[in-house]
Amino acid sequence: VLKAVEVNKMRWIATSKGLYFFDLTKNKKRPFKTYFLNKKISAITIDKNNNIWVAVDREGIYVFNLLGRQINNFSNRGSDLKLEGVLNLFCDSSGRIYLATESGFFVYTADNSWIPFVDFTKNKVNTGKYILSFFEDVQKQIWVSKNLGIDVYSKNLALLFSISSAKKEDKISRTIITGCEEDAEGNIWIATLSNGVYKYTNTGFKQYTTANGLSGNIITGITKDKQNRIWVTSSTGINIFNRKQNQFYTLSTNDGILAADYFLGGLSKNDKGQILAASSLGLVVIDADNYFINEKNVLARINEVKVDGQNVETNFSKLQLNAGFKTISFEFALKEAFQPEKIFYQYRMVGLDTNWYLLSEESKITYSNLPSKNIRLEVRAAQLPQKLVNAPIEQLYIEIHPFFWQTTWFWVLMIILLNVVTAWTIIFLNKYKQQKFAQVQQKIQDERTRISRDLHDNIGAYTTALIAGIDQIKGKSNDTDELNGLSDYAKSIMDYLRETIWVLNHEKISIVDFTDRFKNYAVKIAKNYPQLSVNFITDLQNERVLTPELSLNLFRIMQEALQNACKHSSATEIIIGFMSNDTIKLFVKDNGVGFPFQMEASGNGIFNMKKRAEEIQFDLSISRESSGGINICVAEK
């Protein structure tokens, strides 16, 4: 069925296989007459005299009276009338017949002539040439629906204005216009082939799509009933506008309407106000005056719960489960004895997701690997998707108990245990390191003691014997100067040896002990130089502890500096300084003549002092005083 028209209980049905005439006063199921068998009827309408105008595809236009007798026909032979691609026939209130084609339209007037409207080049707005339908408003203006917009003509067929739908940025975004209708308030409703429906008012355009309840955005027909309600057909259903909710309502099987594909231009009304809709399943007739939108809410319920395929008992308000299951499924139903054939369910799992999900073909959902937590299943139902938003919600609280190793108390206990083990391990390792360090230090100290004992017992004994032998020889020999020199060298060896043994015998040496020891040493050395006076500057604000290595190297540097001052400076005064504040600083300063810088650059004594300072990360500086003496300073970096 492509389209049907009806007047005085005479129904004419246009199909792709011919034209069927039904006399409903005699038989509603069998056609009274059949015309143009196996030929496509591309358009049909009724004029003011109740004559039936029929367009046979690529053949001609035929006119029948109400009883089914042909009274006229038109063809494109020998005339300007183009019958290729006829899409629609329409009769206005003045009796003019409009013929829509793929290249324009023609108007049949009272003087039995067809006026062509095929040249649109002078139009300011490009609305295309492909004509789909016609509509007459209360002001007798003709609205022509086209492939790129709408042309509006006066009752004298003068073009008044156009509305474009050719571009995406147009007020009616790029689409094909399939039809127009006017409501009692004077608003024009515009059907499109991809953008749903637009309502054109004096303030602009308002669009209605599937988001506003339409069953689809491909609108194939539009009309109005006696209650001023807008009806539209789409490729997926029939819709009626609900003014109360300002959205469309889709008729379903619960309203006695089969879901079908409704054809382009296949919507019309008979003289009783009934709506005739041509579809892929046949002709649908709706008694619009006696149809009321069913606004009753239906109540959803959770009918069945299965865990890993096994039914689970629940009071349908709370469900408690232990972790370890793989799947859980829920089946929904309605809280009433009568179950409509078509119900839409919507659900969400609060705690996992905030979005609602629609079930249109089934009433069962399945989840797998749900986390161990408290969640809530919510479900609602309605006979139409657009009614779901206001539908009452059924809830099921689900408490999934975790495995013991997933519980908070288990992890708190594990953290405490881990901290205890970590602390014990750290204490044990530190104690072990301390023991190992103490053992190493003891071994080092034992080795120092052994070395100092060997030095004392062997080299010390030999040096003492050497000094004693020299003293005996001095009493028998006249060459006392050379013997005195040998005796001094031997005593110097003994002094160095004593200092080394003293350092080796101490694991740690305070800066105070170090200072006192070196003062004793300096006083002892100064006795060999009667012309010299040795003075000390001591500023030990920070008590520091020196390692044996640091003590020995500092002692040797100061020894070398003191020896150089005594032997080479020709000084009368030597000042030795000891400072310990934030850093350690030691110096030997004289008022002598100094020594050549060649000696500073190449002498073994100076070189050794620098090497020792580098080893203990100290800076060694040698500078001349303004009085002419030398200042040797060793300072901590």
| pLDDT one-digit tens code per residue, 505-528 | 666 889 999 999 999 999 988 988
| pLDDT one-digit tens code per residue, 87-123 | 999 999 999 999 999 999 999 987 888 899 988 888 8
Give exposure, 224-260, as e/b (b: 16+ Cβ within 10 Å): bbeeebbbbbbbbbbbbbbeeeebbbbbbeebebeeb
pLDDT band at 605 (very low <50, low <70, confident <90, very high): confident
Q: What percent of the chain has pLDDT over 70?
A: 86
- Average of pLDDT values for 258-264? 83
CB 2, CB 263: distance < 8 Å: yes
- Average of pLDDT values for 296-319? 85
Assess whether pLDDT exceeds 80 at residue 342.
Answer: no
411: Cβ contacts below 8 Å, ≥ 6 apart: none
User: Which pLDDT score is estimated for 183?
Assistant: 97
Assess whether pLDDT exceeds 60 at residue 461.
Answer: no
- Comparison of pLDDT for 337 and 260, the residue scoring more: 260
Locate the domains of the chain by residue range.
300-406, 423-636
* Angle, helices 548-568/604-615, rounded to nearest 10 degrees: 160
Residue 394 main-chain phi, psi, to 5 deg: -95, 140
User: Which pLDDT score is estimated for 172?
Assistant: 97
- CA quadruple 216, 220, 225, 229: dihedral, nearest 10: 30
> Of the ranges 176-185, 195-204, 326-335, which one carries the lowest mean pLDDT score?
326-335
- Comparison of pLDDT for 170 and 438, the residue scoring more: 170
H or E element in which residue 327 lies? strand 327-334
The most confident of 24-33, 282-291, 316-325, 354-363, by mean pLDDT:
282-291
Assess whether pLDDT exceeds 70 at residue 503.
Answer: no
The SS3 of residue 629 is: coil
Assess whether pLDDT exceeds 80 at residue 257.
Answer: no
CB 305, CB 311: distance < 8 Å: yes
Adjacent-strand bridge partners of 39:
none
Beta carbons within 10 angstroms of residue 424's beta carbon: 10
Six token digits for residue 253: 């099987």
The SS3 of residue 19 is: strand
User: Which pLDDT score is estimated for 447?
Assistant: 65
Assess whether pLDDT exceeds 70 at residue 125.
Answer: yes
Six token digits for residue 371: 């986390």
- The pTM score is 0.55
User: Which pLDDT score is estimated for 358?
Assistant: 92
The SS3 of residue 348 is: strand
* Angle, helices 461-476/480-504, rounded to nearest 10 degrees: 160
User: Which pLDDT score is estimated for 204?
Assistant: 96
User: Which pLDDT score is estimated for 601?
Assistant: 46
- Average of pLDDT values for 585-604? 73
The SS3 of residue 219 is: strand
Query: What single-letter DSSP state applies at residue 456?
Result: I
pLDDT band at 413 (very low <50, low <70, confident <90, very high): very high
**Distance between CA atoms of residues 506 and 501, nearest Å:** 9
- Average of pLDDT values for 215-219? 93
Distance of CA 566 to the CA centre of its chain: 82
Six token digits for residue 586: 């030691």
The SS3 of residue 127 is: coil
CA atoms within 13 A on the CB side of 97: 26
H or E element in which residue 15 lies? strand 10-15
User: Which pLDDT score is estimated for 436?
Assistant: 87
- Average of pLDDT values for 484-488? 66
- Comparison of pLDDT for 382 and 472, the residue scoring more: 382
**Distance between CA atoms of residues 493 and 460, nearest Å:** 9
**Distance between CA atoms of residues 156 and 171, nearest Å:** 27
User: Which pLDDT score is estimated for 502?
Assistant: 72
Assess whether pLDDT exceeds 50 at residue 595.
Answer: yes
Tell how many helices (H) and how many strands (E) occur in the chain.
Answer: 7, 43
DSSP 239-298: EEEETTTTEEEE--GGGT-----EEEEEEEE-TTS-EEEEETTEEEEE-GGG--------
Assess whether pLDDT exceeds 70 at residue 29.
Answer: yes
pLDDT band at 406 (very low <50, low <70, confident <90, very high): confident
Assess whether pLDDT exceeds 80 at residue 194.
Answer: yes
| pLDDT one-digit tens code per residue, 233-253 | 999 889 999 888 888 988 876
| pLDDT one-digit tens code per residue, 539-563 | 999 999 998 889 989 998 999 999 8
Q: Was domain 300-406 assigned CATH 2.60.40.10?
A: yes
User: Which pLDDT score is estimated for 598?
Assistant: 46
| pLDDT one-digit tens code per residue, 415-436 | 999 999 999 999 999 999 998 8
Six token digits for residue 589: 């300063």
Q: Scanning the structure block, which residue is given the tokens 């049905």?
A: 13
H or E element in which residue 502 lies? helix 480-504
> Of the ranges 31-40, 277-286, 400-409, which one carries the lowest mean pLDDT score?
400-409
Query: What single-letter DSSP state applies at residue 185?
Result: T
Q: What percent of the chain has pLDDT over 90?
A: 58
- CA quadruple 498, 500, 502, 506: dihedral, nearest 10: -170
> Of the ranges 48-62, 348-362, 365-379, 456-470, which one carries the lowest mean pLDDT score?
456-470
Q: Superfamily for 423-636?
A: Histidine kinase-like ATPase, C-terminal domain (3.30.565.10)
